[in-house]
Chains A and B, each alone.
Chain A
Amino acid sequence: MMETLEQYSILLVYSAMAIYALAFISFALDLAKRSSQIKADEVAAAPAELVGASVSGRSGVTDAPVVATTGAAGASGADAGPKRSVTLRIGVALTVIGFLLQLVGVVLRGIAAERVPWANMYEFSITGTLLIMGVFLVVLMRQDLRFLGTFITGLVLILLGVSTVNYYVAVVPLPPALDSAWLVIHVFVASLGTAFFALGGALSGIQLLQNRRETAKGSKFLNFRLLDTLPDSVRLENLAYRINIVGFVFWTFTLIAGAVWAERAWGRYWGWDTKEVWTFIIWVIYAGYIHARATKGWRGSRSAWLALIGFAAVLFNFGVVNVFFKGLHAYSGL
């Protein structure tokens, strides 16, 4: 019985991956369409200017990145700015379906293991990516960040792909060191923090591209037209900041909860174990990021780089430190 649950679980995870792949394609098509839409708009622009429609697409302070192009849509008569983009909506719908499949898969894994489904690398991966998707979908309800769809589905697909292939382990019971309520709290909050950092990192990345486009207009390098349909760099920076600070709060909690757990399990709350070191490094980098945003001359691109370095350290901590470094945080069978 338990074995079949476990098999259903992995089957659901695979199905979710397939759906995410389709979602990825939809999101990518939308981005491609945005590029060509801009071109079409520019063609239409000449007459449109007479009626004062702005087609520059610089969405500036508008709420949704999409509003800016609607003016042009009327003039060109073509279907639509991205807001009405069918591919975009299909992408989101597919993401929701994939998320639900994955959710059931993760829950089944937990039932099969008779404990929380985040106690080894494979399980961190499926739960962590589930949270990335969840956070993305929840944030979507408040902010139109659908343009991040390609990045998020892509990232989750890669992470799920690597972990199902390399880290899959059958359900095994918890070793005594992990058998603690703190596993539930500490690891879950760490994954939640990671999910926010992923989203924030993506925004900071786009912010950098956008900034480059804004400051070096005309330069060809990394000068994607579709950036014109996205929010401007200041707005991206503010969004990234807000999401990263939520991640930072979760990370701070993870650090404290980890120390409390270490005290219970190992008799000391801090011992500079490799994993502790990296959790600390990540925390300090993000503290630096927050500071940078409040420092003259560091607002904007420089602080965005720090957010990216921070997220790179998060991925490194998860993908490299867990697997290749020696330390007390050795996870049973990965």
Chain B
Amino acid sequence: MTTSALPSPLPRVSLGALVERFGLLILVIAMIVLFSALPSSGPAFRSVLNVQTLVANQGVGLVVAIALLFPLAAGYFDFSVGAVASAACLVTAACTATFGLPLWLGITLALAFGVGVGAGLGWMVAYLEVNPFISTLGAATLLGGAIFAYTGGLQITSGIPRELTAIGSGRVGGVPTIALAAALIALVAWWLMSRTVFGRRLYAVGANPRATQLLGVDVRRIQFLSFVASGTVAALGGVLLLARQGAATSDSGMTMLFPALTAVLLGTIVIHVGRPSVPGTIIGLLFVAVLVSGLTLVGAPAWVGQVFNGAALLIAVAFARLARARGRAARR
């Protein structure tokens, strides 16, 4: 019909754009090189044990962060993920250690618990149109209270099945088993979010729910499912937490929420700016983990980690905002 040349499918990839898209990854690599080379931290940082610990310690955090991704892609914050993970950890421990149920049943019940909480929150947010900030924060507080009521502030330490703790501390070919488990969950989540129609709809709902509805999509169902996915993955995170710690704490799980939030939001400034993604979250998580580990080995005081988490969160949000504004300004 027209003879005009076809525009190229991708824009010319400039160095600047590349740095912008992968800047955080480059920074992570630079930090790894730096901390490995510094005389004060190098030997310890480079050691196999440190690398294994670093990776194993991020397993639970990664899964909890992934739980946050689904609702966030659909445009909602879910503040309940930490509490759901903590509660699922307790459910598994109570079922197996206290009531002597087999491990598979304990895990199944923990997952069912996660699905249930996710479905309840999803129903409230999608169908009753309750503000997700309030409902998820409310659920988190409620679960925290329930955990405290059940445990009375004490940990469940004895009777945790060996098979489970083996996952938390074992290794397969030198790689911590828990990291492999987390990687498997991440892979499935990545596939769901970027290689399925469901995933594309998730982002579409987050970007413009009304337009998505007019594409013939059941928007409420997508929103509902995003919370179900969140609850399920958070519960998996709880099972891994029990495997890693070998004990169920009476913690409300809020301490897990903010590192997860930081990782996810840092992840929105890589690859596709402004869009939460699994690869971005992994890079975000590594960024914080490497920096905090490196700084600790260099001898920085303990408060550095927390200060750094908060600063990274603010920088990530501001950067994503600016990048988005610039993308829009490209319009004449």
Partners in one complex: no
Chain A residues proximal to chain B, CB less than 8 Å:
none
